[in-house]
Structure 1
Amino acid sequence: MKTLRRAAEIRDLRRLARRRLPHAIFEFIDGGAGREITLRANEDDFARIGLSPRVGVDVATRRTRRDIVGFDSALPVMLAPTGLAGLYWPQGEQAAARAARRAGVPFCLSTNSVASIEEVSAAATGADLWFQYYFLKDEGLTDRMLARARAHGYRVLCITLDLPVQGRRHRDVRNAFVVPPKVTLPTVLDALRRPSWVAGYLRHGVSFGNFETHQLGGGFSTIAQHIASLCDAGADWETVRRIAEKWGGPWVVKGVLHPEDARIAVGLGASAVVVSNHGGRQLDGVPSAISALPAIAAAVEGRAQVLLDGGVRRGTDVLKALALGADACMIGRAFLWGLAAAGEAGVDKTLALLGDEIDNALALLGVPDVAAIGPQILTPGGAPDFSAKMRDPA
């Protein structure tokens, strides 16, 4: 695709995705909660961090590999769990998992995927697969879902903690976003301008593939209604412990912004803590992921890995996160924009851009191995004091 070849950065993929998707569906990917203060801060706070290069260093050979919860990843990056990827491109989850396999990075499937656990596993044999779990009211459904994931090769369970209820997402309300998309005059007129998306949707449709007894059928549901009907707002740390025991393998917790929550998770045996505000889509006004990272890394004290999720748009963002205590980063919107723009090739492009940017930055920083990235790459005063945003009371 000629336009894809001209994409020089992740933002170019966003522009292409916006051109191809119906307005309400693009806004579902792009939007956040409330006034979107946290959504903006996730990116803006990265821009406040300065870099300090060294010269006179042999950087002819560079290494970008990093361990991510026991997997030797080609990059310090993995694909985050994102709902409804198959709505943006036909068989979108399968496409993204194959792209992750090719790039040598992990892929995490969302509970709220369009493709099922089994379909993604079959499509991406050999990929490092993770399964993301939301707390469900139906214990039998939970047991079946975890068993299916284990049986089909998912290695790590990612327990998401920050969705007891859905945040207030104003764009979705204004756009009357429902699944499946409702046919109205405005949506039809909008869709007619996006024939590529319409053709794919008419061939494949959309459903929540992991809910074998909760298919959408002919009904319409907002995401908030879907979450309220299936997810358990009463889950607590004891619930986390029980789910981890049922899983019986490596597990991580996602959605942590407070150091004490990180300590609790590590104490229960989490292999990693994912610092995340759900992409700014839950509670508006909470800290950006990157600003919450240093205090959480300090609280974990190396007893588990720390992953950063939120606002990563460039390879230098990944290195800044590593410098502030992360072991690796999850990317969500960045790969969804690539997927929505050009399917599997678009996810390939996302990962290639980030990989090239990381490699280039290592050379220009004078640090040939990503494992050696630390605070030394930050300018004196170039790393803001984020403590005002998130202090550790301990």
Structure 2
Amino acid sequence: MTQRRMPRPRDFRPLVRFRKPRLSSTRRRLEAAVTIHDLRDAARRRTPRAAFDYTDGAAESEVSLARARQAFNDVQFNPSILRDVSKVSTGWEVLGAPVAMPFGIAPTGFARLMQTEGEIAGAGAAGAAGIPFSLSTLGTTSIEDVKAANPTGRNWFQLYMWKDRERSMGLVERAAAAGFDTLLVTVDAPVAGARLRDSRNGFSIPPQLTLKTVANAATRPAWWFNLLTTEPLSFASLDRWPGTVAELLDTMFDPTVDFDDLVWIKDQWPGKIVVKGVQNLADAKKLAGLGVDGIVLSNHGGRQLDRAPIPFHLLPDVVREVGKDVEVHMDTGIMSGADIVAAVAKGARFTLVGRAYLYGLMAGGRAGVDKAIQILSDQVIRTMRLLGVNTLEELEPGHVTQLRRLAPREVD
């Protein structure tokens, strides 16, 4: 028989742990987030549907994005035991300069639409964390203001080649003058992908006030207050646009850009040049032969061609064939530090995160971006320790097994 007694007051003392109340709702919200998915949930609650869907959505049926994330979910880690992992180093050199972590902030358009601090929050947080920040051609903060927000950190500029070549290269010249060290030339967007969420929401810059958007704004007054009491939302690199985003992109993107144009751009850029949007081995080999400094295996976060190749699946073959000649980076589908570690183990020198950063921005501005970087960094360190490695250099393909879910069907 279990012996029982009446509890005494002192028995409750070690069980009671009341937290000090947090007056800041932002601080409470961010402290409650322990994963990027938690930040995504907070972002969805605080951001109007059209802006949130622009970040969260992808092209057509969104198959590419789902497959990219599933590829990371299908990773099996193979740890080693009885290793001293009291000290872990997460930095190394990327494109000739040090980074504190093997990830940086990807170029994303319209960041001030997501939250009013926009690219300034991203650049400042990246600088504080010792990782690169990438500014999009479609950014809503100027090249010079991003440099001011991250004066001693690494800033990269992402270029879409417009039909107006003179204006495109004008941006490149401004980025070089501001001390941006790397040019990311995005090559997977000859035309805009069919982003159906945006079409259904009538997504535009600036956002249009309709009955639907007004109704959606009623439960998100802070977002609208910030929008209406700060500088009018517009693109930092081009004139104001009265139509939808899809119409803008189709008007601006140049479908004639080819490898000769890339060589022409390379000759005019004084820093490192990286080609973003590589989706097959043949193109990776050709780019390595042209002498670019890096390539980013990417299907544009699933936002261009739906059912495009999965970058994580491409990674081992590309690294094996061209990894000695050019740095291989990757993006798309990354939602945790474990995903980043898996990519490095499979040969990626660097990774870029887009949605993860924007979820943090929408959830809490600069503090939210800091939180996203902290979550990813803590997960990188913890995963490395559990694998039994002390440095990024120790990560190798044997640490990862890709469980098979999708495989090409054999020809009959």
Q: Please give the TM-score of this superposition, normalised by the length of structure 1.
A: 0.94
Report the alpha carbon displacement of residue 287 of structure 1 after superposing the two structures with TM.
Answer: 1.8
Deviations 1:333-375 (Å, cap 9, x if unpaired)? 0000000110111110111011111111111111111221011
Gaps of 5+ in 1: none
- Contact 1:208–1:215 under 8 Å retained in 2: yes
Match of 2:319 among 294, 297, 312: 297
The more displaced of 265-274 and 152-161 is 265-274
Cα 1:56–1:73 change in 2 (3 A) is same
Match of 1:383 among 391, 402, 405: 402
Report the alpha carbon displacement of residue 25 of structure 1 after superposing the two structures with TM.
Answer: 1.0
Q: Root-mean-square deviation (CA), in Å?
A: 1.6
Q: Please give the TM-score of this superposition, normalised by the length of structure 2.
A: 0.90
Tell me the equivalent position of 1:338: 360
Cα 1:111–1:181 change in 2 (3 A) is same
Tell me the equivalent position of 1:28: 54
- Contact 1:38–1:288 under 8 Å retained in 2: yes
Report the alpha carbon displacement of residue 32 of structure 1 after superposing the two structures with TM.
Answer: 0.7
- Contact 2:293–2:326 under 8 Å retained in 1: yes
**Aligned counterparts of 2:210 and 2:67: Cα–Cα separation in 1:** 35
* Alignment of 1:70 onto 2:96: yes
After superposition, residues 191-340 of structure 1 pair within 5 angstroms as 191-204=217-230, 205-211=232-238, 214-216=239-241, 219=242, 221-340=243-362
What SS does the corresponding residue of 2:181 show, helix, strand or coil? strand
Q: Greater Rg, structure 1 or structure 2? A: 2
- Contact 2:176–2:270 under 8 Å retained in 1: no
- Contact 1:91–1:115 under 8 Å retained in 2: no
Report the alpha carbon displacement of residue 74 of structure 1 after superposing the two structures with TM.
Answer: 0.5
* Alignment of 1:92 onto 2:111: no
Report the alpha carbon displacement of residue 385 of structure 1 after superposing the two structures with TM.
Answer: 5.8
**Aligned counterparts of 1:21 and 1:365: Cα–Cα separation in 2:** 37
**Aligned counterparts of 2:117 and 2:180: Cα–Cα separation in 1:** 18
Amino acid paired to 2:127: R
Deviations 1:259-295 (Å, cap 9, x if unpaired)? 1111111111111110000000001111222112122
Cα 1:199–1:276 change in 2 (3 A) is same
Match of 2:131 among 95, 105, 109: 105
Report the alpha carbon displacement of residue 147 of structure 1 after superposing the two structures with TM.
Answer: 0.9
Count of residue pairs the alignment pairs up: 383
- Contact 2:85–2:389 under 8 Å retained in 1: yes
Tell me the equivalent position of 1:58: 84
- Contact 1:291–1:389 under 8 Å retained in 2: no
Cα 1:388–1:295 change in 2 (3 A) is farther
Tell me the equivalent position of 1:80: 106
Q: Which consecutive aligned stretches of 4+ in structure 1 deviate over 6 angstroms post-superposition?
A: none
**Aligned counterparts of 1:157 and 1:84: Cα–Cα separation in 2:** 19
Gaps of 5+ in 2: 1-26
Cα 1:267–1:140 change in 2 (3 A) is same
